[in-house]
Amino acid sequence: MHIRIRNEQHEHMMNRQVVQQVEAQSDLGVIIRKDLKASDQCAKAYAKASRVLCMIGRNIRCVDIMLTLYKSMVRPHVE
């Protein structure tokens, strides 16, 4: 992945084969894009939080328990 604006984008070799260039790379669960935008990371966090919230909403009817589960299971994905 070439990140800098004025990068000459040289091809790198490993074992006499050209290393494939990628647009985005995931490292420790954080998606890093070539243009350093966080849109992929935000979309991934939103999708995961939505799935958890949907599961909580379908199975829990008590508001107090739902609020506690939201704070502990959904909010960490969004933040």
Q: What is the pLDDT of residues 59-70, one digit of tens each?
A: 888 888 888 888
Report residue 57's pLDDT band, with 50, 70 and 90 as the boundaries.
confident
Asked whether the predicted pLDDT for residue 7 surpasses 70, the reply is no
**Confidence at residue 4, expressed as pLDDT on a 0 to 100 scale:** 59
CA distance 23 to 1: 7
% of the chain at pLDDT higher than 90: 0
Tell me the residue length of the chain.
Answer: 79
Cα 52 vs. chain centroid, distance in angstroms?
Answer: 15
Q: Which residue has the higher pLDDT, 32 or 50?
A: 50
Amino acid symbol at 26: S
Dihedral over alpha carbons 34, 4, 20, 11 (to 10 degrees): 170
